[in-house]
Amino acid sequence: MKKKRNLMIAVGVLVLLCAAYGAVRLTGGTDPALEEQDSIAVNTKTDVVSLRMEPAGAQAYTLLVKEEEGGGRYLWLSESDKRLAMDVNAAGTLLSSLERLKAYEQVEGDPGQFGITDKSSRAVLEFSDGTALNLVFGGGTPVAGRAYVLAEEQDQIYVIRKDIADRCARPVYALRKAQLFADCFGTGGDLAVNAVEIRGGDTLLIRPQSAEETENSFSDAPSYYRMDRPVSRECSDGKVDADVLTPLLALDGRAEVAEDHPGDTAQYGLAEGQNFRTVRINAGDVDCQVRFSQAAGDGYVYAMRMDLPSVVRIPADAEELAVLDLQWYDLVNTSLWMRSLDKVKTVQVETPAGSFQLTPVRSESGEIRSGTLSGEPIDEERLRELYMKVLNIHIDGRLFLKGDTSEKGNGPEAVRWKGPDADVGGLTPDYSVTVGTLAGTEETFTFYAVDARTYAIARDARLTGFYTGIAALSDLEKDLTAGGDPQGDSR
């Protein structure tokens, strides 16, 4: 499990590093449908040193280009905040779509009739020889997928691909890479998460188990992760990996930048006092906290990492956002026992129908051959069936009780008024199961009726704060009463 977790995190980090590396080879941006003999060259140069973008109604920005040995190029945004990452692929696509730009046709007329005005989006390409090309984008043509553009230096209007015009109308945030969790894990060594905290309704706090906790675990295969809040319980490692770490890492890929250096985070539902949720990851020396808004009316959830001045948006229906709504019982290990029968010496069960003892019978080599049920012989298959009934008793949910009271009885009401960790040593349990191991340890869970279908679970005479349903307990009782005959009166 640990190797699986590390591999997953390492893949996430590798994706981030690949995206952040600025040296790229830019591919052509022409449409295969524009056949060479039918297309018209708008721009034939590829030695661009800068690209100034002036999207309509948005802040202008400049993309700088530096040639590198081997034919690669290094791209970066001029005067950008060094903490904020650029999406190299998006930047490369923008630049390559304007290099060697080709058109379907030339048109004649006043630019205004083609939607080309002083308020239109503009791109200015500067080349290494000091020359420049100003492109002013107009509206779409009657033919779908095409748009008009004016090349000012040529005083000529062309018909080009509309997706190129649309790309040039996007704000600078289209070239920014959303940053949430992927780079919070660091690089190198044995990657591990020190803590994950999800604050919304109940606060979930998950961390690796200590060596002492692992040694004292109820399981033959202790979990790597443990939940501290809102309950103290071993987690299912598979669920933590699949339902917490994997979606948190994937959120970077689902997000897009909405605004850098926001003046008012309240408009995104992310200001102090608003109903946002917070996810905190501590890994190594990094402590990463991200706020998530409630779903907005525009169909997005907005998020902001607290150490970066950037707001991103995520489609509200993104399945990765389910991590924000996890409940503790979605992640904890719900088994009461995870002892292999090979390590079990006896199982003592107390029920309203009587007492039962299940004992494996071993050969001289220690291999289980058969068993006994309250002294009566049963075959190995039946022994294992009955033991599985014991293992099937598990946590069904969190038990919400009202706290202690001075009026103590010996019935269900006495349990109803007790809270988690309360002493129930003076009460008589309805059921009790003790698993004794060959190593000499014993694990006892007792069960107290809270109502007709719910039993509070206690360990070492103290309530755990969990409950189990009646089904698993009554099923075990029926099978034990049937004895060695699985078709007995329990059916």
pLDDT tens, residue by residue, 353-377: 999 999 999 999 999 999 999 999 9
| Lookup: tokens for 399 | 């038990």
Determine the straight-line distance between the first and last CA of the chain, rounded to whole angstroms: 40
| Residue 34, pLDDT score | 53
- Residue 191 scores a pLDDT above 70: no
| Residue 488, pLDDT score | 53
| Residue 338, pLDDT score | 79
DSSP at 154 = G
| Lookup: tokens for 135 | 């492109």
Ramachandran angles phi, psi of 339, nearest 5°: -100, 130
Least confident of 13-17, 77-81, 85-89, 403-407: 13-17
The span from the CA of 399 to the CA of 417, in Å, is 11
Q: pTM, whole model, 2 decimals?
A: 0.72
The span from the CA of 328 to the CA of 233, in Å, is 9
The average confidence (pLDDT) of the chain is 86
| CA distances in angstroms from 321 to 247, 256, 282, 327, listed in the order given | 7, 14, 19, 13
- Residue 484 scores a pLDDT above 80: no
| Residue 23, pLDDT score | 38
| Cβ atoms of residues 23 and 86 within 8 Å | no
Instruction: Please indicate whether residue 485 or residue 188 has the higher confidence score (pLDDT).
Output: 485
The span from the CA of 486 to the CA of 130, in Å, is 91
The span from the CA of 346 to the CA of 359, in Å, is 5
- Name the helix (H) or strand (E) containing 108: none
The span from the CA of 65 to the CA of 62, in Å, is 10
Average pLDDT, integer, range 6-23: 40
Instruction: Please indicate whether residue 336 or residue 122 has the higher confidence score (pLDDT).
Output: 122
The span from the CA of 432 to the CA of 111, in Å, is 87
Specify the amino acid at residue 324.
L
- Residue 189 scores a pLDDT above 60: no
The span from the CA of 280 to the CA of 209, in Å, is 18
Q: What share of the chain is helix, strand, coil (3-state, %, to 5)?
A: 25, 35, 40
Average pLDDT, integer, range 195-199: 94
| Residue 82, pLDDT score | 87
